[in-house]
Every structure is written in structure tokens, then in C-alpha cells.
Amino acid sequence: MDRFRHYIDGAFHEAAATFESIDPATGAPWALMPQASAADVDRAVRAADRAFRDPAWAGLTATARGRLLARLADLVAEAAPRLAAIETRDTGKIIRETSAQIAYVADYYRYYAGLADKIEGAHLPIDKPDMEVWLRREPVGVVAAIVPWNSQLFLSAVKIGPALAAGCTLVVKASEDGPAPLLEFAKLVDQAGFPPGVVNILTGGPEAGAALTTHPKVAHIAFTGGPETARHIVRGSAENLAKTSLELGGKSPFIVFDDADLDSAANAQVAGIFAATGQSCVAGSRLLVQESIRADFLARLKAKAEAVRIGAPDKMETEVGPLCTARQRDRIERLVADSLGRGAKLITGGTTPPGEGYYFPPTILDCTGVPDAPALTQELFGPVLSVVGFKDEAEALALANDTAFGLASGVFTRSLTRAHRMIRAIRAGIVWVNTYRAVSPIAPFGGHGLSGHGREGGLAAALDYTTVKTVWLRTSDDPIPDPFVMR
């Protein structure tokens, strides 16, 4: 089997313990992954801390940091086919998606390369005539970046890129589910020429995660994952009082009004829930459709869902591949069955196909009148769409906001005034109007509630990895008066 290693302090290391990584398309092991211990994590964090203070990194100009990021961007672009093949093998994501996504990841590093010397301080018009006061933006320190298996090269880029642009150093922890792409990416970091310890990449289970998030030398924790793990991280951060930014997924409403372009909305909905086999934090998993068009729109979706090509993820013709893990498939099966038992109606899908691999078909459930259906309230992280009808705009808005999550949303309507009303009233960090799943390195994303806090992407992310230093400079040559002499 293939064998991967940790990248710590500028070198690749074997771990004392390893575990098998499973090919989701076959259910068979294909590679050995290193399993970080608490001692490995400590070594990585201390390496990052040394690098943060070392002139080899700390003494670089912001422009020089940008050049290193630009070099990394070029290497990612060159290695995109190799990285895509590894990600497809290790996670089951289809090759047509990993290829396109990783090629675009290079643009994120290019964006932050250009932004590195644009992070500015400010001069304050202070109310004291003999003082000059300004603000410096300085890197916060060592960053613990914890990344899930899905879209991991993208989700690491929106942490690594801004953190390095700001001058921080990092310890990146890949998920133990499908970590191979990030461990392979470490080779590109090494080739790019970053000083040892600036970027460290490892993987492992709960022991590694707890050791990383509670480490006294970690200043910022950037986490993408589920709310329950996030709660453990926030509790653990009480040990080091590290700043946290959390991107925790969602149960995003996809709202279709009766004046929408239904063909466009149907295509966007299919992409929003069945792309990446539904394993996306912004998946449009709650379809809210106006009652007057519900039957027509569901018929369109049913036809599109049943025409989706399910198959081996390494084939370019495949449109939906396997889920990443057997436990995820089993959980989806259980929650779909529970929803049907509570009264939801099966439109299509819902049955695991025979054969090897962790496959689950595109599934549509009409949950109108079944508000307690788990498929409607829980993030399933799979190709399952829950549908609810609504009568008017007020009901659509009430249904959209009836969730503890708040990451993404979609609105399909030809009415400009209605679109603006919905944009204002929907409680979500992202509102897509007549489109869905569009991203850019220029635009920040993030949510609130159980979808977390903080933003990734854009200038906002880079500023989040800085701290503000206030500088006071007295301009008068007169002696400072004796404070104990009354005048």
C-alpha cells in the first residue's frame, strides 16, 4: 500500500503509529496514514513557534512572503492532476470535481500572495496635540488549522493563505478520514521554499486534536467541521485562550418562487445538493418551493435526479460517487428511514444500491407537513434533498429562518424588490440570488449560530489572523511634567 508521512519542521517524518485509509469506491484499504501522537503535535507546534520568531520568517518583508505564496500557487496548479487523483482515491469525490476545484485552489494562493503587502495599519487623528498615534497590524502567532476531509485543499487554502499572508505560522491537522491530499500537498510547501516550521501538516484522531487545540503556544484555532467537535474545541481553548474561527456547516434553504426561471433553478438545485454527493457545508439541502409550482418543480427535479450518472469516482463521466465513509452512509440510511416513518414522502432514491463501496443514490423527500423529519432538521451531509411547500413570501422567510444553522441560502425569483427583501431578512452568512455554490477568493464566507463564526476568504480572513498594536509617540521636546507636582 502507499504510505504517507507527517511534515514537521521542514522535514517528513514517519509516525510511531499508522492506520489504513479506505477507498470509498471499493471499501478496501489502499494506503497507510501516519497517526500523530500528542508528542508529535507538541513537536509541530514548537517548530511553528520557533519559526514565528525566527528572522528567516519573521524578518521577511510582506512582499517576500507574497512571493513564497505565489510560488506555492504555481506548484499547486502544476500538481493539480496528481492531487485530484489522490483526493478522488482517498475520499471518493468524483475526479471531474476534484480536478476543477484544485485548479481553482491555486487562485486562492495567488490572491493571498498579492494581499500579503496590502495589510495596512492606520493613523489616528488623536485628540492630543503633542502625540502621534498609529495602529500596526501584526501576525497573531501560531495557528492551529483543523480541516475536514471534504474539499480539504480548498478548506486548507482559505486558512493557510491568509495566515501566511499575515505572517503567522501554522500546524495543519488533516482529518483521519481521507487525509492523503493534504499530506501530499506538504511536498509542495517544502518545494516552495518556506523556512522550516512555518507550515506543519499532520493527521490523527482525537488525541492529536485535543493536544493541538489546547497547546499553550497556539494563538488562533481555525476549524471547519461539525458543531459537536467545535464545542469540544471551544471548551479546550479555555486552556490557552486562543482565538477561534469556526465554519460548521449548515442546513441551507433553497427558495424557489413561482416567478423563477424553473429550468435554471432546477439545475442550480441539482448542483446545490447532489454535487460532491451532497457532502458540502453549503449544500442546499432544504428546498422551499411555492405551492403553485411544487408539483411541476418536483417532477423536473425527479427526472434530473434519476438521470444522474452514479459510478466510479475516477471516471470523468461519473456525476455522483460514493460517500466518504461507511458510517456516513449508514447514518444517512437511518435518518432517511426515520423521516419516512414520520410521514415524509419518497419522491425518488432512498435505497442503497447493491455492490461494493459506500454509495447512496440522489434522494428527494417531500417533508411538507412533517416539521420533525430528521432529514429536514439535521445536516445529513449526503445527496438527500428535503422539500417543503410554502404559500407566500412571509411563510417562505419563516421556514428559511426556522433553523439553528445560518451558513448559506439561495433565492430564485425574477422580482428584484422581492430579492432585496429576502436578502435583508434571511439569517445566513451567504445569500445567493438566482445562482448557487458560487465562490471566489475575493469574497468571504462564513455563518452564525450552529454554522459558527468568523469569515474565510477575502481581506476579512487575512485581517482575522492579525492583532492590532497601538503605538504612541510623543512629539514634544519639553520634559514630561512631574506627575506629583500640582500646578
Nearest 5°: the CA angle 288, 94, 5 is 120
Q: Cβ of 309: how many Cβ atoms within 10 Å?
A: 10
Nearest 5°: the CA angle 260, 265, 268 is 155
Evaluate whether 176 touches 473 at the Cβ level (below 8 Å): no
Distance CA 304, CA 308 (A): 6
- Which of 380-389 are b and which e, b meaning 16 or more Cβ less than 10 Å from the residue's Cβ? bbbbbbbbbb
Q: 8 - beta bridge partners? A: 11
Nearest to 386 by CA among 290, 288, 295: 288
Amino acid (1-letter code) at residue 295: A
Candidates 176, 184, 247, 319; catalytic one: 247
CA distances 301 to 103, 293, 295, 411, Å, are 30, 12, 10, 17
Q: Cβ of 112: how many Cβ atoms within 10 Å?
A: 30
Nearest to 427 by CA among 454, 394, 403: 403
DSSP 310: B
The answer to whether 247 is a known catalytic residue is yes
Distance CA 154, CA 149 (A): 10
Distance CA 120, CA 402 (A): 40
Q: How far is CA 193 from the centre of its chain?
A: 26
Helices 95-115 and 62-91 cross at an angle (nearest 10°) of 170
DSSP, residue by residue, 358-371: -----EEEE-TT-T
- Which of 19-33 are b and which e, b meaning 16 or more Cβ less than 10 Å from the residue's Cβ? bebbbbbbeeeebbb
- Which of 205-216 are b and which e, b meaning 16 or more Cβ less than 10 Å from the residue's Cβ? eeebbbbbbbbe
Catalytically active residues, by annotation: 247
